[in-house]
Amino acid sequence: MPISVLIVDDSSFFRVRIRGLINSHPQLNVIGEATNGREAVEKAVKLKPDVITMDYEMPMMDGISAVREIMTKQPTPILMFSSLTQAGARVTLDALDAGAVDYLPKSYENVAGGPTALKKALCEKIIAIAGQAKPRAMAAATAPAPAPAAPRKGQKRYPQRFDLVMLGTSTGGPVALQKILTQIPANFPAPILMIQHMPGSFTGAFADRLNRQCKITVREAADGDTLRPGEALLAPGGKQMMLAGKGRIRVFDGDERLNYKPSVDVTFGSAVKYYGKNILAVVLTGMGADGREGARLIKQTEGVVWAQESSTCVIDGMPSAIVKANLADETVPLNEVARRLVDVVTG
């Protein structure tokens, strides 16, 4: 049975083009359209689509308000269309906070002129979030943090100290990273590197948002940065971030043949030479398998790798790739990642 899709956009041009791209895929079927946020809520409740594509700027009710109301009345995986600007980044991050699962750049040129790449990305994302995005995972991601508690009996302990924590993620990552980092205390004794699949125009805005929300310092990484305890660096979108020495960051354009910029594998793998067994890497929610080969290198030097527990992921592709390759020392629910990090890294 085809995956049913509701398109929400006030532009008739976009609705026609997006409908054509979606309906050209044998696994997808557009079952309705809405021209404003209010109509989107009504049709989401009435039609119960498997996935909704959502614009932001619309009359009567904007996209973020519509996302919030849909997630209350008829929880549905929502894919936002976003402009690749700083303002677009802020809007997209607000939409993800409200419950949207993922986003795609919105460009008249891409839709009108060369739709092949857009069709591939659009259809792949719709299929992925329809098959795996779970309302319970989305609810878990935005639920209040659990109260601090003593380590539970049977939780794994590690003999080494951890001098570097790395977090790799993709779809669902912005909410997951926010959930984790806002629970990390200011005196956290290790530096943190974050690799999130995200456009270059988004990562600066995302780092700024996290910095305002967190007790630790969070910023977008720059070439030549040094690692400091209690500071988290976010890999810039569209570039690669790697360790160029103990505590020293290199940011560069990277090979165009790599699927992801930034790539979790690149950052994970580069840290092994300098930190060896003193690495704690966590692979969080996301499509694909980026991070698996980097995690394999970490395990070969006796570092530690965790995978986010599947039922708390928006998309469990990346963590599942770690688990299936027998690389995970632990699978940790999202709500427990920060607490486990503090417990294990601070000793």
In 3D space, the residue among 9, 27, 45 whose CA is nearest the CA of residue 130 turns out to be: 27
Burial class for 67, CB neighbours closer than 10 Å (0-12, 13-18, 19+): buried
> Is 170 a known active-site residue?
yes
| Catalytic residue (choose from 55, 62, 170, 316) | 170
208's tokens: 């700024």
| Catalytic residue (choose from 197, 263, 270, 316) | 197
Collapse the DSSP code of 93 into the 3-class scheme (helix H, G, I; strand E, B; otherwise coil) and give the result. Answer: helix
- Round to whole Å and give the CA distance between 104 and 84: 9
Cβ atoms within 10 Å of 106's Cβ, excluding its own: 21
| Catalytic residue (choose from 290, 310, 316, 320) | 290
> Is 197 a known active-site residue?
yes
According to DSSP H, which parts of the chain are helical?
12-23, 37-47, 63-73, 86-98, 108-112, 115-132, 135-142, 173-181, 200-213, 264-275, 292-300, 317-324, 334-346
11's tokens: 């532009």
Cis, peptide link before residue 199, omega less than 30° from 0: no
Measured CA to CA in angstroms, residue 11 lies from 17, 59, 83, 151, 343 at distances of 10, 11, 14, 53, 51
Measured CA to CA in angstroms, residue 301 lies from 273, 280, 298 at distances of 9, 12, 5
- Cβ pair 290, 167 in contact under 8 A: no
- Cβ pair 186, 230 in contact under 8 A: yes
In 3D space, the residue among 260, 256, 289, 129 whose CA is nearest the CA of residue 195 turns out to be: 260
- Round to whole Å and give the CA distance between 205 and 318: 24
Enzyme catalytic residues? 170, 197, 290
